[in-house]
Amino acid sequence: MQTSKHIHLIGICGTAMASLAGMLQLQGHRVTGSDTAAYPPMSNLLASLNIPIHEPYSEKNLDPRPDLVVVGNAISRGNVELEHVLDTRIPFCSMASILHDEFLPARESLVVAGTHGKTTTTSMLAWIYEVASRRNTALAPSFLIGGVAENFGTSFMVRPAKPFILEGDEYDTAFFDKGPKFLHYFPDALILTHVEFDHADIYADLPAVKTAFKRLVNLVPRRGRIVAYDGSENVSECVEKAFCAVERYGFGPLSHWRLTDLRHEGSVTRWSLTRAGVPFAELMLPMAGAHNALNATAAAALAAGQGIPTEDIVEALATFKSVKRRLEVRAVVGGVTIIDDFAHHPTAIRETLRALRESYPGRRLWAVLEPRSNTLRRNVFELDLVESLALADQVVLASVFKSENIPAAERLHPEHVVAALNTRKIPSELLADVEAIVKTIVPQLREGDVVAILSNGGFGGIYEKLPAAIAKRAPVTS
């Protein structure tokens, strides 16, 4: 699009959609959008850009008639705005397709994909390039991240230089394009972190998930490169027929990029990294968790292979500030530390709780979970969820978010999870909503407790309601 247009985004508060809105505005377009509910951090981002959010969905939001409508992947037939678009023949497209058409031509597409860790790893890679660009402006990255990278204070950036760093999402693209979004990004180089069964609403089983990632691998040209985790048989299967060079990373003795001497010092992690058996760097990351050290190693490996100097990689990781809603400290009140973490899968919950154990040794750890993602709302991972939550000292589950939208035979029964945890002598409760959760746990909290709030949504405002309630009472120390 060579001229300024009015572009309307249906479902604008999705992470990728809000970022795209900002990118289109930078290109000189007039951007509007609509959604059912706006909540941080993307609502804050849109407000800072003065991009209006119309709530709720309505045909009136499309008056005056936009030149183009971008339909978010959460939007399905029956949405009043989508139906109006179809009835009146307003041109429309998906987020992934407009991203490919408008921003990726003549760019170097660097894609980070995987079931877990891709948002953090994408942020790390973008920050490495940003640090390197201080000495070489040709490295100044454009990026699109599925979260707000705290080093940048944003989830997107558009620059004239060639590198474009993208979080590659395996979720489907739009109601009219049920393939993964990452198939639109045509990577020149790729990071593949993990491959597990996820998104049970759109993938039938693990083989279907692996097929999607195999198709992504098949898009990488012979001149390209793949950096892939070597601790997963699923990842190995997905990259085994790649046409380009594949470099594996992990803790194994045969890892091309091998982590050794991993040390946890509170919220700081240190390790030695070798490349093809040769010492590469001593790395420090101001984040806890072996999973974050692996994420950082993947970003370092891809950057090094693209010619980024080692000293810039070391500096960038040492100054990395994480991503909003990834082990984010939301409040410390009455001696209680409240953590916000974007939880969508039992494996992610497990790694989050492990990291918090390392960051806050000896402190009582609460896990407060809202089963909200399309995976967690289903019973396919019920046993895995019990194993993950068992890492906490106290567990609270909210009711399944919009459980009526999940077929009864597939629906998670949180009471089963609570019962299994109580059988293991891990005090657990099922509470209907945020008001009940706050009312019940606040009297039980004591100084030194760490509360991990696990949700991929707004969770009824618990991030504000819980600290406010704690502040109103004196800390309990016994």
In order of their start, the domains of the chain are: 6-95 (3.40.50.720), 104-318 (3.40.1190.10), 328-471 (3.90.190.20)
- DSSP for residue 400: P
Predicted pLDDT of residue 478: 46
Q: What is the pLDDT of residue 380?
A: 87
Per-residue pLDDT band for 351 (boundaries 50, 70, 90) equals confident
Output the pLDDT for position 275. Answer: 98
* pLDDT tens sequence across 326-349: 878 899 999 999 999 888 789 889
Mean pLDDT of 453-467: 89
Q: What is the pLDDT of residues 142-182, one digit of tens each?
A: 999 988 899 998 889 999 999 999 999 999 999 999 999 99
Average pLDDT, the chain: 93
Query: How are strands ordered across the β-sheet holding 257-265?
Result: 154-157, 142-149, 163-168, 108-113, 189-192, 225-229, 245-250, 257-265, 268-275, 278-285
One-letter amino acid of 439? K
Q: Write out the DSSP string of 268-293.
A: EEEEEEEETTEEEEEEEESS--HHHH
Burial of 438 (0-12, 13-18, 19+ CB in 10 A): buried
Q: Which residues pair with 149 in a beta bridge?
A: 154, 323
Q: Give the confidence band of 427 by pLDDT, cuts at 50, 70, 90.
A: very high
The model's pTM is: 0.85
Is the confidence at residue 365, as pLDDT, over 90?
Answer: yes
